[in-house]
Structure 1
């Protein structure tokens, strides 16, 4: 099937930053066949009227915890460590059904805000609660978006000086076995894959150095990427210095956790030297502006990281620290926080769009497949409506998308398949998804 989007403004986010005030995108058999200015040269099997719209690459979410959709609105005035201490006992009650309901709701919200690829870092595996990772994979299939399933792990409970209760941590052997099984079962390295797996021990304060090192070795043996939380708060830095005699970035470097196959969540509290080392190593950073603001964690040095050569993408983070749960809104948050830190030219609207598309694709190692509108790439694209009151009079369509209210979607395609049309999710009933989530949240609360 050939789909022709005609008459829209086009922001390709290619290496040259090519844009067309009025142009077209042609999709054929799940791939982008052509992108150009002016009317499309062919009618196609389906024509989409793009007048009054902007077409961009689909947005890439580089960090999330989908299970947390069942626990929104809690610990509202807490720092990260206080928030985790309050929520770990609640998360001890998640099971396969709750996780599936939460993941479906989270992915539905992501899709409705322009997301076509999502990295989900799932690291809570209470014993005897079913196959939680499988429930996330099934949710992604149900909604129709690409999933990078980060098989997380924690082996440092309270009895070992960690933050999580012992009931939700695994032994190192169990964590490694579960991670390897997830790679063998779900990881698809082929171009256009809908599911890939990464290795993701949670953080320095919930994972032993032994598991951090063994997980790194497993990932590199299996040829998959590595992900963890790092340098999110001042508390984390203080703890790392006290326990390991190093900052979080220095600790990661000592363990071999810097490299082009690694992307880190948050990366807020980084020294000048750490920024340079991440850039030199090609280590990516998932910037989560809303979550960082919600927890008062700080503002990441996005401009400095970009200037150093580090890939930077956008992350929503778990909805328990970002109740909105949408990805498109992070474009504006990233822009504004960067400017609070570095002035009004610290991040342009177009660079914010790059973070949400190509920057995220680079973090996930998929820059040859997604992240820009170019012939031969996957047909993952978002068609945003800019013809309503909220954007009337904004002549620059990219500025309208990034700085204005988040526009509704006229169309969202993933591999050429329709996931959202006219603002409505195509593959699931939002009424049913909301009811499932409400029931899951109530059951989790009742079990506390």
Structure 2
């Protein structure tokens, strides 16, 4: 089916912050066939025309998430990362069932869609169940099958072999992609990290891991090897290929140069890093070096939300505060980090921008709100979206041309029933 969406304006999702007023977007076979001004649009022909009064923006891309942790939202409040993991999260996660993960991921996926997030990079247990969950909601996911040495888990070698096997036979529709998710250098032995990297490069898979999240996580490795975590990963042939490193808060100039040399992408998680007092990443320095950076929420137990639009505003605020400059991150760059920049960071050029040839993942944002006034220039719409916009103003969402949110409600699953089921399961796991 062919569709023509018309809107007050389109925010393209590029780094320049391009805003196209009085816009038309044509959708055919799940892809954007044409995008531009109404004055330049080709004839609509037999396309269904849908007139939208607000903005059309790209589906947001969440570059780092552990979304099934909605089961643990708000738990372990006030603890630093190491204690939060060992005393609260990991003991409760040991009681998880596969059904728990699928229900939680379904609920989390619906929550993200309601906020305009159409794609997320997930690193969590039961990756096949995560795939089933996004299949139910109609979202997309890049699923980095986890490798972590926790009680009750198979040996790491078996986890790695199972993760590679999952990637075989995945439909080529862009809805689900499997990658490898070794947790971090301080939890996974270096030989296993090297083997995971080799397999990721061999199969063209995303290798996703945590790096330099806290000031002390690499202390033991530094004492043993005399190298920072980034230098250690480089020395052990872990870098190269599609590598996405989450957090990257505690990086010196040498570490950032290594990331540039090996084209390591960064998943920047400002809300989680602030809540856990992990620090503020050197975002401006990363961008100035040409690093690929995307925004991530991290898990909803450490954020405590999955609202990527809120993290857009926080990323801009923290970058400006860190650099003591109102020019440290523009509104256009902040939004790009959740759209085109994030798609680039995860190696998915088919996502993240309203551009002909990309997948038709589109979000309609209501601008009939005082937060979007006054508008003297079309660029003001982007600025207001970053600084004044909230996810509740998302009205409609399409993934691959299929509508999955209509009039502010997810249309593919029963969000109320999911909320009730998450509450019951969360109570059991905390007991």
Alignment of 1:323 with 2:304, yes or no, is yes
Cα distance between partner residues in 1 of 2:93 and 2:399: 31
- The answer as to whether partners of 1:7 and 1:38 remain within 8 angstroms in 2 is no
Alignment of 1:418 onto 2:403:
yes
> Structure 1 residue 284: deviation in Å?
0.3
| 1:13 shift after superposition | 2.7
Match of 1:335 among 298, 312, 316: 316
Is 1:14–1:374's contact at 8 Å kept on the other side of the alignment? no
Superposed displacement of residue 48, structure 1: 2.3
1:16 positional shift: 5.9
**What is the total number of aligned residue pairs between the two structures?**
423
Cα distance per residue 1:146-177 (max 9 Å; x no partner): 1101001113xxxxxxxxxx514431321222
Hey, what's the Cα distance between the residues in 2 that align with 1:392 and 1:437? 38
Displacement, 1:399?
1.0
Query: In structure 2, the residue corresponding to 1:229 is in which secondary structure?
Result: strand
Q: Secondary structure at the match of 1:22?
A: strand
Given the alignment of the two structures, is residue 364 of structure 1 paired with residue 343 of structure 2, yes or no? Answer: no
Q: Within 5 Å, which residues of 2 pair with 1:48-63?
A: 48-51=50-53, 53-63=54-64
Per-residue CA distance 1:188-214 (angstroms, 9 max, x = gap): 5x3x41110111110122111121111
The TM-score, its normalising length taken from structure 1, stands at: 0.90
| CA displacement, residues 285-306 of structure 1 (integer Å, 9 cap, x when unaligned) | 0001111111000111111111
- Aligned equivalent of 1:141: 135
Moved more, 146-155 or 30-39: 30-39
Q: Is the 8 A contact 2:60 2:308 kept in 1?
A: yes
User: Could you tell me which residue of structure 2 aligns to residue 445 of structure 1?
Assistant: 430
Task: Answer yes or no: is 1:71 the counterpart of 2:65.
Answer: no
Offset of 1:359 from its aligned partner? 1.2
Matches of 2:188 and 2:194, distance apart in 1:
10
Q: Identify the residue that residue 25 of structure 1 maps to in structure 2.
A: 25
Distance 2:335 2:121 in 1: 18
Q: Quick one: which of 81, 88, 95 aligns to 1:93?
A: 95
Is 1:350 matched with 2:332? yes
1:161 equivalent in structure 2 = none
- Asked if 1:243 corresponds to 2:224, the answer is yes
Write the distance in 1 (CA, Å) between the matches of 2:118 and 2:330.
23
Distance 1:85 1:357, change over 3 A: same
Match of 1:152 among 138, 146, 163: 146
Please give the secondary structure, in 2, of the residue aligned with 1:184. Answer: coil
Structure 2 CA distance for aligned equivalents of residues 235 and 169 of structure 1:
26
Tell whether the 8 Å contact from 1:280 to 1:310 is kept in structure 2 after alignment.
no
Aligned to 1:127: none
CA contact (8 A) 2:7 2:55 kept: no
Q: 1:360-405, CA deviations, whole angstroms, 9 ceiling, x for partnerless residues?
A: 11122111x1111111111111111111133332551111111113
* Contact 1:32 1:379 (C-alpha < 8 Å) held by counterparts: yes
| C-alpha contact 2:14 2:336 (8 A) present in aligned 1 | no
Normalised by the size of structure 2, how large is the TM-score?
Answer: 0.94
1:184-195 alignment, distance < 5 Å: 184=168, 186=170, 188=171, 190=172, 192-195=173-176
| Partners of 1:231 and 1:237 within 8 A in 2 | yes
**Structure 2: gaps of 5 or more residues:** none
Cα deviation, residue 261, structure 1: 1.1
Q: Deviations over 1:39-95 (max 9, x none)?
A: 5542654322222x1111111011111221111111111111011112211110011
Distance 1:15 1:297 in 2: 27
Counterpart-to-counterpart distance in 2, 1:44 and 1:35: 17
| Cα displacement string for residues 96-146 of structure 1 (whole angstroms, at most 9, x for unaligned residues) | 111111111111111111111111011x5xxxxxxx222111110011111
C-alpha contact 1:97 1:440 (8 A) present in aligned 2: no
| Structure 2 Cα separation of the partners of residues 42 and 442 of structure 1 | 53
Structure 1 residue aligned with 2:416, among 413, 431, 434?
A: 431
- The answer to whether the 8 A contact 1:357-1:372 is kept is yes
| CA–CA separation in structure 1 for the residues paired with 2:18 and 2:73 | 40
Distance 2:178 2:217 in 1: 27
Q: Select between 303-312 and 176-185 the one with higher mean Cα deviation.
A: 176-185
RMSD: 1.7
Distance apart, 1:413 and its partner CA: 1.0
